[in-house]
Structure 1
Amino acid sequence: MADTMRADGRRNYERLLDEARAAFAEHGTEVSLRDIARRAGVGIGTLYRHFPTREALLEASMRQGLDALCAKAGTLLQSESAGDALSAWLLAFATGSTRYQGLPASLLVALHDETSELHRSCLAMRTAAAQLLHRAQESEQVRGDLAIDDLLALATAIAWAGQQATDREDLTGRLLDLVRTGIQHPA
């Protein structure tokens, strides 16, 4: 979209994205869109022209991170240990999901809401994670009855719990270790 815009429109688009990222980081995903527009030095109509919904703005601000998670999954598919690859990806997902207060809930909702602008990016991420899960199941390192949506729900819940704790990264790592133990293929 940004490639076909006039120069002033592109500047507004980029300013809005920069200010949205900063506002989401400071105040969470439910920050006022009017405040984001004000911070970017544009009117609310300009914000809505570029981003018709909060989810569209959130998707644009998260696109690089979600694309990076997909790329990481592709790289991890080449790892020797399928179980370790899945664990590494889950840690990256859970850690990245704590970037903005409220993001874990937004991602979980978007995975199941086909009308959300976040859905397509989340679906690509889900597909990439499903490939890692399938490989780990085929190598019998992870339980065969584990569904990708259940695993992502667990990782999202861990991200949410991590946001609530003062020792965020430690808690996220400890909880993911527990999940890893719980999803291991029975010996």
Structure 2
Amino acid sequence: MTTSRPMRADARRNHERIVTAAREAFTEHGPGAPLDDIARRAEVGPGTLYRHFAGRESLIEAVYHADVERLNLRAKELVDELAPLDALTGWLREQVAYVTYNRGLGAALKATIDQDSATYAQCKQLMRDAAAAVLAPAQEAGVVRGDLEPRDLLLLGHGLGVAAETAPDSFERLLSVTVAGLRAPM
């Protein structure tokens, strides 16, 4: 039986710096960004990068997972901070920002991450949980339609992200129209 020990504090910091540097490099240069550049940005040696990540695919996967975890956490923060409809609207806005930010990386993720992998399944569940976290209080408050499902929010957010990429000046109007369509009938 193998037990995994918690990561030492310095190793955890290196891991986080590598993921942050990879996110920046992938955003600037796409998923083919040189791993040596990522190590340099993270201020670690190539050996440290490879101790944490077997290769490009595992690094892309780690960036994806970290971003989805952040969106999941943000849903919970918004629910704690804002009125139900404002939390839902704020989370949709953040989901759209994520979709537009990761558009180029998204294709690489789909090509890299096995759709049957544990990471993909976990990230999919984290996104559903995040959507449910903002949807349930809004439904309980009666401010949005009761027939909405978390998946609906995910699909709407993705669609708004694509629209925001092609017509960024229309995003706020489209978000407003979308939220109006989510409202519970009077």
Same fold per superposition (TM over 0.5):
yes
Q: TM-score with structure 2 length normalisation?
A: 0.70
Gaps of 5+ in 1: none
Match of 2:162 among 148, 160, 163: 160
Q: What amino acid is aligned across from residue 42 of structure 1 in structure 2?
A: P
Gaps of 5+ in 2: 40-44
> How many residues end up aligned between the 2 structures?
174
How much has 1:139 moved relative to structure 2? 1.8
Please give the residue correspondences for 1:38-117 in structure 2 after superposition, counting only pairs within 5 Å.
38-39=36-37, 40=39, 42=46, 47=50, 50-51=53-54, 54=57, 56-78=58-80, 81-103=83-105, 113-115=115-117, 117=119
Name the CA shift for 1:146/1:14 in 2 (closer, same or farther; >3 Å). closer
Higher deviation after alignment, 77-86 or 13-22 = 13-22
Structure 2 residue matching 1:145: 3-state secondary structure: coil
Please give the residue correspondences for 1:11-50 in structure 2 after superposition, counting only pairs within 5 Å.
13=15, 16-28=18-30, 31-32=31-32, 35-39=33-37, 40=39, 42=46, 47=50, 50=53
1:148-180 Cα deviation digits (max 9, x unpaired): 112111101211222234xx3x43322211110
Structure 1 residue matching 2:178: 3-state secondary structure: helix
CA distance in 2, matches of 1:106, 1:184: 35
Q: TM-score with structure 1 length normalisation?
A: 0.69
Q: Is the 8 A contact 1:16 1:36 kept in 2?
A: no
* Residue 185 of structure 2 is aligned to residue 186 of structure 1: yes
Q: Is the 8 A contact 2:35 2:56 kept in 1?
A: no
Q: What amino acid is aligned across from residue 81 of structure 1 in structure 2?
A: A
Q: Is the 8 A contact 1:16 1:47 kept in 2?
A: no
How large is the Cα RMSD of the aligned pairs?
A: 3.8
Q: Is the 8 A contact 2:61 2:109 kept in 1?
A: no
Q: Is the 8 A contact 1:161 1:172 kept in 2?
A: yes
Name the CA shift for 1:117/1:24 in 2 (closer, same or farther; >3 Å). same
How much has 1:133 moved relative to structure 2? 0.6
Name the CA shift for 1:119/1:135 in 2 (closer, same or farther; >3 Å). same
CA distance in 2, matches of 1:173, 1:85: 16
CA distance in 1, matches of 2:21, 2:98: 19
